[in-house]
Amino acid sequence: MKKKWVSLCVAALFSTIGQHALAATEPKAQFNWRAAPSEEQVATLTLRDAILRAFARNPKISEAAAQIRVGEADLDAAKSAWYPQLSLQASGGRSHQTDSSGSLNNSGSGGITLSQLLYDFGRTGGAIDEQHKLSEAYRYALYDTMTTVAQDTLQAYLSVKRYRALVEASRNNVASLLRVKEIAKMRADAGLSSQSDVLQAETRIAGMHATLEQYRAGERTAQAQLTVLTGVVAGDLPELPQSLLNQQVTLDKIAYEKSAAVRSAQAKQEAALERVHQAASNHWPTLKVQAGRTRYQNSRQSYWDDELQLQVEAPLYQGGLVSAKTRAAEGDREAAVAAIQQSKLDINQHASTAYADMIGAQQRQTAGEQQLGSADHTRAVYADEYKLNKRSLNDLLSVEQDVFQADSSRLTALYDGWDATVRYAAAVDNLLDIMGIDREASSGQTLPSL
C-alpha cells in the first residue's frame, strides 16, 4: 500500500512538471498595455471620415455597444422564466423516514424534476417588459454617445482649421510688413528718411513672427487633439459642409421627442414603472406545475417516488419586504421622471446658448469684414502717401496692425460661428443626420465603418 502511494505521488509530480514544461513552450500573447493607440498618416481627412474614425477609436462607443449586448442577455434571462425548468438531483448518506407503517432507512437517492411556471400575476411579464425598455434605453444612450463623440471630433477639426487660417493671416501680415520694410529701406538709402524707420519696421516684423509662432503652437496642439480622437495625422482638411449652416433654428419648437438623451431617459422611466408593478405583484401567489421521478436506495430494497403536483406559493408575511421594495421602485421611477426633465433642460440651455453665440459670431464676422475692407483701403492710401513723404512710418505700421487685427477678428468670428452651429446641432440631436450618418442602422454590435 505504501509503494502504491509513493508511485501515485511520483506520477503526480511528473505530471505537474510536464504541464509546466508544456506551458513554458507555448507562445505567450504579447500585449503592451503601456503603448498608446496607433496612428497613421493620410493626405486628406474629410469631416465625415474623421467622425467615423473617432467612432471606431473611442472607447465610450465600445462601452455603450457592450451595454446593449448586456441588455440583450438580460432580456433573454428574463424570458427564460417562461420555459420549462429541468433539473437533476442526487444525494448520498443515511436518511430516516418514519410513517404509520414503520420506518425506512435510505442510503442514497437520485432523480429528475420538471417544473413549468403557469402564472405569477405579472412578475415575469413585467421583468421582460422592463428589460425591453432598458434595451431601448441602452440603444438611445449609444446614439447620444455617438453625438457627443461627433461633437468633440468636429470641434477639434474646427480648431485645427481655425489656427491654420490664423497662421495664414499672420504670414500675409509678415509679407506685408516686409514690403513696408523694403519701402523704408529704399527711402533711407535715398536720404529721404532715417535708418530708424527700417529698425522700427524690423521690430514690428519680429513681433509679428512671435504671433505667428504662437498660432503655430496652437495649430500643433489642435492637430494633436484631433489625432488622438481619430488616430490620423492629416495633411489637408477640406472645407466644412454648408449644410451645418443651413439647419433650421427653432428655439420655441425644439423636438425633444427626437433627442436620444430624452428617449433614453424616457425608456428608463418606463422600465422603472415596470419595476414598480413587479414589486407590487409580490403580494400575489405564484402558480406552477411540477413533475418528478426519484429513486431511493436502501439496504433492503429500492423504490421510485413519482410526483405530479400543482404548486401554489403565496407569501404571508416577510417583515414588510414587499412594501419596502415597492416604495424603492416608486422612488426610482420618480428619479427617472426627473432625469427626463433634466435632459430637456440641458437641451434647452445648450441650444439657447449656442444660438446666442451663433448670432453674435455672425454680427462680429460682418463687422470684421467691414473693418478689413476699410483697413485694406487705408493701407493702400497710406503706402502711397508714405512714398510721397506725406505720412510717417508709424502711420503705415499702425494701419498694418489694423489690417491684421480686422482679419484675425473676422476669422475668429467665422470659426466661433461654426463652433456654435455644431453645438446647436448636437444639442437638438441633429448633428449626425446633417453629416449623413444613420444611427438607426448602426446600433448595437454594428457601428459605422469606413
Residue-wise pLDDT tens for the chain (450 aa)? 444 443 434 344 344 444 444 444 444 444 444 444 566 777 788 888 888 888 888 889 888 888 888 998 989 999 888 899 988 888 776 776 676 666 667 667 788 988 888 888 888 888 899 899 999 999 999 999 999 999 999 999 999 999 999 999 999 999 999 998 888 888 888 777 778 888 888 999 999 999 999 999 999 999 999 999 988 887 888 887 777 777 777 777 888 888 899 999 999 999 999 888 888 888 888 889 988 888 877 766 777 788 888 888 888 887 788 888 888 888 988 999 999 999 999 999 999 999 999 999 999 999 999 999 999 999 999 888 888 888 888 888 999 999 999 999 999 999 999 999 999 999 998 888 888 887 765 544 444 443
- The predicted pLDDT at position 14 comes to 41
- The predicted pLDDT at position 449 comes to 40
| 449: in domain | no
HSE at residue 274, side-chain half, CA atoms within 13 A, is: 19
Q: Are 165 and 172 in contact, with CB atoms under 8 Å apart?
A: no
Q: Are 239 and 299 in contact, with CB atoms under 8 Å apart?
A: no
- The predicted pLDDT at position 326 comes to 87
Work out how many domains the chain is built from and give that number: 1
CA distances from 195 to 176, 182, 185, 293 (A): 19, 12, 7, 113
Rg (CA), the chain: 38
Tell me the pTM: 0.78
Going by C-beta distance under 8 Å and a sequence separation of 6 or more, which residues neighbour residue 378? Answer: 399, 402
| 179: in domain | yes
**Structural domain containing residue 216:** 46-82+121-283+321-434
| 116: in domain | no
User: Which CATH number belongs to the domain containing residue 211 in this structure?
Assistant: 1.20.1600.10
| 430: in domain | yes
Distance, CA of 373 to CA of 348 (rounded, Å): 38
| 13: in domain | no
- The predicted pLDDT at position 29 comes to 40
- The predicted pLDDT at position 65 comes to 86
| 265: in domain | yes
HSE at residue 356, side-chain half, CA atoms within 13 A, is: 5
| 19: in domain | no
Phi, psi of 404 (to 5 degrees): -65, -40
Q: Are 64 and 127 in contact, with CB atoms under 8 Å apart?
A: no
What residue spans of 256-320 are helical by DSSP H?
A: 260-281
| 303: in domain | no
Distance, CA of 412 to CA of 165 (rounded, Å): 9
